[in-house]
Chain A
Amino acid sequence: MRILFIIVTLLFQFFVFGQGNSGLQLTPLFNGLPLELDKNYILEDSSWYKFSTCRFYVSNLSFFKDGRLKEKTNEFYLFDLDEPSSFSITFKNEDFDYLSFSIGIDSTTNVAGILDGALDPINGMYWAWNSGYINFKLEGTSSKSTEKSKSFEFHLGGYLAPYQTIQTVHLPIRNNSKDILIGFDILAFMKEIDFNKSSNVMIPGLNAVQISSILPSIFTVLPNEK
């Protein structure tokens, strides 16, 4: 059984690579430069930021050409800045001019019971008491925080109406047979948050919805000079 599986996988890979394969990479940025965990960033206005956790789900990756869907994956990918290499998306090199993906997990998957792989609750992206996935998690410390400890924690999730938090990112992009590099700027995200409302969001609700809605705007396509 296992051998069969390996053979099928090899054949499949051969087939896919034969068609020409490209990858999609995510690059976290802070003010336009690659973001590092646990590094203290100080801005000119003397505000400061330090991040300890940045993880989120990517799903529903779809490729379009002239407004028509050409390919869609049903995979769920977990991006974790602690282990960026564990995040790898490959796709067939087809002709497309536009792609979209979701940040987070759809409602059907949220009620589907126990799942494994990227969706295993052991990954720390799952609420047990209010069952559902945390779509996006960002933790750290910042001068912006209203907490004494200057800490902030954003665990954004929730799939029940009217507090759905899943977001969709749309990016026009030309397929030029190179890897696609997508950046997202965490400073742009932090700047949009009203810290007076809350420096900690750990439950589904209005706050989570409002903060989640910032996410699509921080993603951009980066030039790939390779």
Chain B
Amino acid sequence: MKNKILFFFFCVFSIGLISFSIQSDPELIEFVVPKKWPKPVYNFAKNPLTEECFQLGRKLFYDPILSRDSTISCASCHLQYTGFTHVDHAVSHGIEGRKGTRNSLVLINLAWNSTFHWDGGVNNLDVQGINPIQHPAEMDNSLEEVIRRLSISETYPALFKKAFGSTEINTATIMKALTQYTVSLVSSNSKYDQVQRKEKGISFTDQEKNGLKIFNTHCASCHKAPLFTNTFFASNGLKIDSLLNDVGRYAITQRVKDSMQFKIPTLRNIEFTFPYMHDGRFRKLKDVINYYSDGINTKDRHLSSQLITPMKFNEIQKKDLLAFLYTLTDKTFLYNKRFSFPK
């Protein structure tokens, strides 16, 4: 009898040991490319999406542990409800209220971008996250310190083990996890998209239709559908801010022709991503339209050729264009629970 009991415990113990040592593989998830969209640029083969890694990235994105004094998370400057940007600040505000030099960018459809930041200085989404962590006016931290904190935390080593098969945390695993989250932020369900997909009961109003025509004539060459950016760089003639002295892409390439060229931003969810432009100089979308209509200095030598002919919209045309831009709002994206603060 005693032997039987012993044997029973032995079995339970062995089964426990075996099941403990068999690691369940992370669950692969598919990156869904919306119908008729181009192929993503991001190389998913090098960082295959898994549920465990996405959730780890999401947790990191919302965790102020990444900043030196644990006050600022990625989400402080990239808020979901506003298209993952900082609203109301012309230039971003980081640790201890320090001001950066640029308006924080939206995080929308990043999988289709080959360069990042307003000047395109970042050449791969996987390495972008090093910037905010190290930037003195953003998180002002070091990679060593982030790795140290995550490694001694109670929760993270186990989560890294689930995602990457090892509790060892390094720059690459942190960056890959963050990317799994940010690359998954796809917005493709605005009214514009629903009309394109000919969904039942959805159609443009006359005003929106007129706006689309104006948009196609004057804006679409740069803000090209379906991403509403051709992902290149251009100058829309903004006068240089003498305090910030931001020369755009020239700082990266040192090529004269790149002077004052900035990333052409997506216009998806533009209704909520104010203020606008690399230095956040326009607070309202109306101001942007007025600028394109009447404010461009057509003699600016950096101005891209598409904008040389003045547009001179009348008030009705301006309203039409605005109405069209509002059709790029995607509430299912802005309120998608999968992207929100992890509970």
Interface residues, chain A, with chain B CB atoms under 8 Å away: 110-116, 120-122, 126, 128-132, 160, 163, 203-206
| Chain B residues whose C-beta falls within 8 Å of the C-beta of A131 in the assembled complex | 121-124, 127
By the criterion CB–CB under 8 Å, are A113 and B254 in contact? no
- Measured CB to CB, the closest approach of chain A to B118, in angstroms, equals 11
- Measured CB to CB, the closest approach of chain B to A105, in angstroms, equals 13
By the criterion CB–CB under 8 Å, are B124 and A111 in contact? yes
Given A112-B124, A113-B125, A129-B121, 10 extra CB contacts under 8 A: A111-B123, A111-B124, A113-B127, A114-B124, A114-B175, A122-B171, A131-B121, A131-B124, A160-B252, A204-B254
| Docked CA distance A145–B149 (Å) | 40
| Docked CA distance A112–B43 (Å) | 9
Contact size class for B? Answer: 20 to 34
Which residue from chain B places its CB closest to the CB of A111 in the assembled complex?
B123
Interface residues, chain B, with chain A CB atoms under 8 Å away: 43, 46-47, 117, 121-127, 130-131, 134, 143-144, 147, 170-172, 175-176, 251-254
| Chain A residues whose C-beta falls within 8 Å of the C-beta of B176 in the assembled complex | 114
Partner of B134, one of A110, A115, A128, A206: A128
Partner of B253, one of A113, A121, A129, A160: A160
Between-chain CB contacts (< 8 Å), 23 pairs: A110-B123, A112-B124, A113-B124, A114-B171, A115-B172, A116-B170, A120-B170, A120-B171, A121-B127, A121-B143, A122-B144, A122-B147, A126-B127, A128-B131, A129-B121, A129-B122, A130-B252, A131-B121, A131-B122, A131-B123, A131-B127, A160-B253, A204-B254
- Measured CB to CB, the closest approach of chain B to A109, in angstroms, equals 11
| Chain A residues whose C-beta falls within 8 Å of the C-beta of B43 in the assembled complex | 113
| Chain B residues whose C-beta falls within 8 Å of the C-beta of A112 in the assembled complex | 124
| Chain A residues whose C-beta falls within 8 Å of the C-beta of B46 in the assembled complex | 113
Which residue from chain B places its CB closest to the CB of A113 in the assembled complex?
B126
By the criterion CB–CB under 8 Å, are A128 and B123 in contact? no
Which residue from chain A places its CB closest to the CB of B124 in the assembled complex?
A113
Task: State the majority secondary structure of interface residues on A.
Answer: loop
| Chain B residues whose C-beta falls within 8 Å of the C-beta of A111 in the assembled complex | 123-124
| Chain A residues whose C-beta falls within 8 Å of the C-beta of B147 in the assembled complex | 122
| Chain B residues whose C-beta falls within 8 Å of the C-beta of A132 in the assembled complex | 123
| Docked CA distance A129–B254 (Å) | 14
Which residue from chain A places its CB closest to the CB of B170 in the assembled complex?
A116
- Measured CB to CB, the closest approach of chain A to B256, in angstroms, equals 12
| Docked CA distance A18–B4 (Å) | 54
- Measured CB to CB, the closest approach of chain A to B29, in angstroms, equals 19
- Measured CB to CB, the closest approach of chain B to A82, in angstroms, equals 16
Which residue from chain B places its CB closest to the CB of A160 in the assembled complex?
B253
Of all A-B residue pairs in the complex, the 7 with the closest CB atoms, nearest first, are A113-B126, A128-B130, A114-B126, A205-B254, A113-B124, A114-B175, A131-B123
Which residue from chain B places its CB closest to the CB of A131 in the assembled complex?
B123
| Docked CA distance A126–B176 (Å) | 17
| Chain A residues whose C-beta falls within 8 Å of the C-beta of B123 in the assembled complex | 110-111, 131-132
Partner of B171, one of A116, A129, A130, A206: A116
| Docked CA distance A129–B123 (Å) | 9
Query: Known contacts being A113-B43, A130-B121, is A121 close to B171, with CB within 8 Å?
Result: yes
| Chain B residues whose C-beta falls within 8 Å of the C-beta of A206 in the assembled complex | 254
| Chain A residues whose C-beta falls within 8 Å of the C-beta of B47 in the assembled complex | 113
Partner of B254, one of A114, A116, A163: A163
Query: Known contacts being A121-B143, A160-B253, is A129 close to B170, with CB within 8 Å?
Result: no
By the criterion CB–CB under 8 Å, are B124 and A116 in contact? no
| Docked CA distance A111–B127 (Å) | 9
- Measured CB to CB, the closest approach of chain A to B73, in angstroms, equals 18
| Chain B residues whose C-beta falls within 8 Å of the C-beta of A204 in the assembled complex | 254
| Chain A residues whose C-beta falls within 8 Å of the C-beta of B131 in the assembled complex | 128-129
By the criterion CB–CB under 8 Å, are B130 and A126 in contact? yes
By the criterion CB–CB under 8 Å, are A122 and B127 in contact? no
By the criterion CB–CB under 8 Å, are A120 and B253 in contact? no
| Chain B residues whose C-beta falls within 8 Å of the C-beta of A115 in the assembled complex | 172
| Chain A residues whose C-beta falls within 8 Å of the C-beta of B253 in the assembled complex | 160
Residue among B125, B126, B127 with max Cβ neighbours from chain A (10 Å) = B127
| Docked CA distance A124–B278 (Å) | 28
Query: Known contacts being A113-B43, A114-B176, A116-B170, is A121 close to B130, with CB within 8 Å?
Result: yes
